[in-house]
Amino acid sequence: MTYKKTSPEIYKGRSSKEQLYLHEKLICLDFQEEIIKKSPKKTIVLLGYACDEGVKRNQGRTGTVSGPDAIRGALGKMPNHLSEGTRFLDVGTIGCLDGDLEATQTQLCHLVDQLLEKGVFPVLLGGGHDIAYGHFNGIKKHRGPQKAIGIINFDAHFDLRDTTNGNNSGTPFYQIAQDCKKEGSEFRYFCLGIRQDANDPVLYKTAEELQVHYLERHHFQMHYLEHVQLRLIQFIEDVDCLYVTVDLDGFSTAYAPGVSAPSAMGFSPDIVLECLKLIIDSRKLISIDFAEMNPAYDIDDRTAKLAASLIHFVIHRY
């Protein structure tokens, strides 16, 4: 695992004397040197996961290693509507050393646990979707295995591939399911935006065997909003807290061309925003990440801006 403090230079934008923009509000800290202190103030913390080893193992297009900073660059330019009492921090980025994905995920688990212990709201920036395994384990370490942690994944893919050929960006939720089985706990996973052209029959069979909740792309749209909301409410009611992960490759390439597995048949931001409203308003959201940002294939920073806009929405409604 490698660690790098975020340079404030990444966050650039218009200047004001009143913190009108997020780059003026945000403070970059060194996670290794400065322990975030508990505070009565609401605190939002960004943490980067610069790793595309999982994507490489999954035979995807590499480049997500540069994802966190691309999102930061787009986010910093955006207007700041956070209250004066809200702290907005960036605690740097961890990376993958010598292809050791497992060690990187373990370290991510520890960092997420530490952040949650301080009472902050973590927003993680990826990086491959293997971020989910380390992120979830950090939440579980903090909350304890007895708590019902619900996973909500906005994605075209189940990411339930088995680990016969090793862990990768397509295996995180299968790994979590196997851990739950060993612990005797329930695997609570809801995936929205699933497409038949992105998942083979074995993955559908695995999803059924693991009793995964899911909505396919043709039902995950504004026309079926009431049905989507009802399914979400039912899922949320049965858990103690929520971990949300947004895989940017679930969106149509019209919105997100800069991903490892692009598709023109993906979903739109509108339905995701409506779901995020409901999730945040439930007050059960504990942590969120944004995965598969690949600036090597982005067009006019379109995908980075989408991720940044989603984060902007989340941190202001949270």
The angle formed by the CA atoms of residues 180, 182 and 183, to the nearest 5 degrees, is: 65
| 90 in a known ligand binding site | no
| 159 in a known ligand binding site | yes
- Closest by Cα among 82, 15, 157 to 313: 82
Compute how many other C-beta atoms are within 10 angstroms of the C-beta atom of residue 3.
Answer: 17
| 157 in a known ligand binding site | yes
For residue 307, what are the contacts with CB-CB under 8 A and spacing of at least 6? Answer: 71, 74, 75, 125, 246, 248, 290, 293
| 113 in a known ligand binding site | no
Q: What is the dihedral of CA 17, 23, 25, 28, to 10 degrees?
A: -130
CA dist., res. 165 & res. 162, Å (int): 8
The angle formed by the CA atoms of residues 63, 68 and 71, to the nearest 5 degrees, is: 105
| 289 in a known ligand binding site | no
Beta strands in the chain (DSSP E): 2-4, 27-28, 43-50, 87-95, 121-126, 149-154, 189-194, 213-216, 241-247, 285-291
| 129 in a known ligand binding site | yes
Cβ atoms of 142 and 112 within 8 Å: the answer is yes
Binding-site positions for Mn(2+): 129, 155, 157, 159, 247, 249
Binding-site positions: 129, 155, 157, 159, 247, 249
